[in-house]
Amino acid sequence: MNTWALLGCGWLLAAAVMAALWAAVGRRNAGVVDVAWSFSTALLGVFFAAFADGWWIRRGLVAALAAIWGVRLGAYLFHRVFSEAEDGRYQALRRQWGDSASRRLFAFFQLQAFWAAMFAAPMLIAARGAAASLGWWDLGGLAIWVAAISGESLADRQLAAFRGVPGNRRLVCNVGLWRYSRHPNYFFEWLHWWAYVLIAASAPWGWLALAGPVVMYYFLTRVTGIPPTEARAIETRGDAYRDYQRTTSAFFPWPPRRDSIR
């Protein structure tokens, strides 16, 4: 199938999924959009790999990587969304938008459908690799994927374990990977997108897969990731989180600074 036709079909599929979830759940708990984005992106990755024109083994590899990534992340988010109150980011949007919140949230869900298709595009590019053997680039991409999924899973488990202690609910998690980065889960999520960049090395226009980690880095560090998460953390944890900000890298894991300047 033509690449543009694949992208268009994928977008329409994601838009239908988002519309259905907005009607069923999103008007009450907008956090479901994060779950839907994860599963939709993975589903589109599998869809694109199935109909791409690359070597069938590489297509299968990309489909497997996309599916495992999406199921792991989506299941984690599903448990969090439906076991807690609506995420503070979406509560703030409801307050900000007032009576138009429902309509605007529908538009937001549809925007996430667009981004699901766009973030699945690097998977499509990687699946179009024509080389009839798995080379060092493919193996390097697989190694990055394993490291990224392992790191993100570990960061999620460490945070869940910390929050599971009743006395820690309003404290700052600074143990394990969280000692070296304020957002190790975001870092490893970003690292994951580099896997498709390497696998796409044998594909036509493979360099376009770089858009995945570039755009993801922008979103995580400037838009939907760190800024609202840290604003909420300061509201709930105050000076303790400000000290954490002064001593700990925001994104890239790095040894913490020894002193906190007051």
What confidence tens digit (pLDDT) does each residue in 46-77 have? 999 999 999 999 999 999 999 999 999 999 99
Separation of alpha carbons 11 and 24, rounded Å? 20
For residue 259, what pLDDT is reported? 61
Cα 214 from chain centroid?
13
Q: Is the model's pLDDT at 232 over the cut of 70?
A: yes
85-107 burial, b for 16+ CB within 10 Å, e for fewer?
eebbbbeebeeeeeeebeeebbe
126 shares its domain with 138: no
114 shares its domain with 160: no
96 shares its domain with 177: no
For residue 130, what pLDDT is reported? 87
Higher pLDDT, 128 or 259: 128
Read off the pLDDT band of 262 (50, 70, 90). very low
79 shares its domain with 164: no
pLDDT tens for 75-112 read 999 998 998 888 888 888 899 999 999 999 999 999 99
Higher pLDDT, 95 or 41: 41
67 shares its domain with 119: yes
121 shares its domain with 149: no
For residue 243, what pLDDT is reported? 96
Give me the domain span that covers residue 211: 134-262
Domain count, the chain: 2
Out of 86, 104, 130, a domain closes at: 130
148 shares its domain with 250: yes
Out of 106, 130, 154, a domain closes at: 130
105 shares its domain with 11: yes
Question: Percent of the chain, pLDDT > 90?
Answer: 85
For residue 4, what pLDDT is reported? 87
143 shares its domain with 158: yes
For residue 190, what pLDDT is reported? 98
Residues 178, 184 contacting (CB under 8 angstroms): yes
For residue 212, what pLDDT is reported? 97
Average pLDDT of the segment spanning 157-176 = 93
Out of 104, 130, 156, a domain closes at: 130
Number of H helices, E strands in the chain: 11, 0
Higher pLDDT, 253 or 232: 253
Average pLDDT of the segment spanning 200-227 = 95
Radius of gyration of the chain (CA): 19
Q: Is the model's pLDDT at 193 over the cut of 80?
A: yes
pTM for the complete prediction? Answer: 0.93
3 shares its domain with 101: yes
37 shares its domain with 73: yes
Average confidence score pLDDT of the chain: 94
Read off the pLDDT band of 261 (50, 70, 90). very low
Lowest mean pLDDT among 70-79, 87-96, 128-137, 234-243: 87-96
97 shares its domain with 198: no
Q: Is the model's pLDDT at 139 over the cut of 80?
A: yes
Q: Which of 111, 110, 123 is nearest to 68 (CA)?
A: 123
